[in-house]
Amino acid sequence: MADRAPSRRDLFRIAGTAGAASLVSGSVTETPDAEAGQRPRSRPRPPREPLKALTAHEADLLDRIAELLIPSDENGPGATEALAVRYIDRALAGALAEQRKAYTVGFEAFERYARQTRGGPFLSLTETQQISLLIDVESGTATGANVGFEGSSAAFFGLVRGHVMQGTFGDPVYGGNENFVGWDLIGYPGVRTTVSPAEQKLLTPPTPVRRSAYDTPMFNKAIVDVRPAGSDRDAD
């Protein structure tokens, strides 16, 4: 697939979030190398806590993909600031542990495809090349000799995209949506147990509730058991 200049429509088409596309304009992205053809970030990158499941390289790949899907710009922070990768890493070490292998295999194939078709690893590519490669992966056309996606590249892209969305817009109790970045982006005020008459009549914007839903007695956090089927659930 020939490289072409990306548009905001491209970015949010592959992100699969038309609502965010109407709220965010102008991509501002990181440049790990001044010669990489990527524009500098408008905000410093948040520090990364010790990883629980992902390798450092996988986390770097995920962070860059998340940044392209939901970028930080003049309208506010994006998936990087929301710590979407922290959410994914914690989930892969816990409730989503059965999907850990899919990330290993998927990113190995992802990097092979980047080298075969763009001449280098994903993080070394220009922003235009990175986005065109993601469009290939999303559309299922990322194929070739020994690329190695299990199933299709589109399935891997859908997995990653879904987890980035969860990490950006989900309840912060799970490790993402840091400082309520995702909720602010889509204008979600948070869980409210009371609504004023003016809010009911849409006469005034809802007051943001800066807390997790699980900070209220109305909600209980689900406990997910990810042990293999047939294991002794009564064992210590």
DSSP assignment of 69-131 equals: HS-BBTTB--TTTTTHHHHHHHHHTTTTGGGHHHHHHHHHHHHHHHHHHHSS-GGGS-HHHHH
Longest dimension (CA), the chain: 63
127-139 vs 153-169: helix crossing angle, rounded to 10: 110
What is the per-residue pLDDT for 198? 81
Residue 29 in tokens: 């992205």
Contact by Cβ (8 Å): 70, 179: no
Contacts of 187 (CB under 8 A, 6+ apart): 23
What is the per-residue pLDDT for 226? 45
Per-residue b or e along 14-26, where b marks 16 or more CB atoms closer than 10 Å to that residue's CB: bbbbeebeeebee
What is the per-residue pLDDT for 143? 83
Q: Please report, for the chain, the start and end positions of each structural domain, with discontinuous segments joined by +.
A: 8-215
Contacts of 33 (CB under 8 A, 6+ apart): 124
Spatial distance between the Cα atoms of 199 and 207, rounded to a whole number of angstroms: 9
Spatial distance between the Cα atoms of 74 and 88, rounded to a whole number of angstroms: 26
Query: Is the pTM higher than 0.85?
Result: no
Report which secondary-structure segment, H or E, holds 166. helix 153-169
Residue 202 in tokens: 């849409």
Residue 155 in tokens: 């399935």
What is the per-residue pLDDT for 33? 43
pLDDT by residue for the chain (236 residues), tens digit each?
444 444 433 444 444 433 333 333 333 333 344 446 676 666 778 889 999 999 999 999 999 999 999 998 877 899 999 999 999 999 999 999 999 999 999 999 999 999 999 999 999 999 999 999 999 999 999 987 688 898 889 999 999 999 999 999 999 999 999 999 999 888 888 887 777 788 778 777 877 888 887 767 666 666 545 444 454 544 44
